[in-house]
Amino acid sequence: MREMIYRGLYHFSVARQKGNATDPVKYFAAAENQDLGIVKQQRKPKVKLIIAPFPEQQRGSDQFFFPSSSQIPLTTAIQA
């Protein structure tokens, strides 16, 4: 992170000499300078993926994702 700030300060000093910038905070936060990587974008919240075929119809049921089965699973049904 420190290297990014030093690199960003170099770019700011060049812009200041040209008369394009006066405040480093405003310079780093400007949309055209986002590629410098000093100010990070806010992350999007994680969204849970719903894999149900018709989630709006199943949302109130106890088995939201998969229906329960009363059959014995095949892995435990085969016993010697």
Contacts of 7 (CB under 8 A, 6+ apart): 36
Indicate if the pLDDT at residue 54 is higher than 60: yes
Q: What is the CA radius of gyration of the chain?
A: 28
SS3 72: coil
pLDDT tens digits, one per residue of 1-39: 678 888 888 999 999 999 999 999 899 888 898 888 888
Largest CA distance in the chain: 85
Q: What is the pLDDT of residue 19?
A: 94
Contacts of 5 (CB under 8 A, 6+ apart): 38
pTM for the full predicted model:
0.48
